[in-house]
Amino acid sequence: MAPLRPGDPAPDFELARDGGGSISLSALRGRPVVLFFYPKDDTKTCTVEAISFSGLSKEFTAARVALIGISPDSVKSHDRFAKKHDLAVALAADEDKAVVNAYGVWAEKSMYGRKYMGVERTTYLIDAAGIISRVWEKVKVAGHAEEVLAAAKTLRTA
């Protein structure tokens, strides 16, 4: 499936999350949401990205913006990852890959000439009405969380 674009309705989901319980997009309606899709817990670039978003979590909260990281890792893996790096963002477990497929970020990748399927690092900014406002594809992590925060602050809450 092709990645979603600005103006598309964001597919709803309910996923298990770190720390227990679940998180759903529909429960967050009325406020902007940032979904950052990343390939794997505790890998170098994914760790830098999660720490970057965590470092700005108070600013996202002050702007009434929900922040959710999604990967195919298990809740147990998310719990270890969050504890090890003192992360302050919700991490949702998409083990069956339904959400990464719905958002079009499960894609063929290539490393050292080997092709494989994996998560294409992508961030979605969703407005308070559940419509995709902005998409960052093939994210380069340096400065990304700050750019997303600046864009999120321009959205209204309900």
- Kindly state the helix (H) or strand (E) to which residue 48 belongs, with its residue range: helix 44-55
Phi-psi map region of 33: left, alpha, beta (phi>0 left; psi -120 to 50 alpha): beta
Catalytic residue among 10, 46, 67, 105: 46
Residue 145 annotated among the catalytic residues of the structure: no
Q: Residue 49: CB partners within 8 Å, gap ≥ 6?
A: 36, 38, 69, 121, 139, 141, 144, 145
β-pair partners for 9? 131
| Amino acid (1-letter code) at residue 43 | T
- Kindly state the helix (H) or strand (E) to which residue 36 belongs, with its residue range: strand 33-37
Q: How far is CA 56 from CA 35, 45, 101, 111, 134, in A?
A: 14, 17, 28, 31, 19
- Kindly state the helix (H) or strand (E) to which residue 55 belongs, with its residue range: helix 44-55
Q: Which residues are catalytic?
A: 46
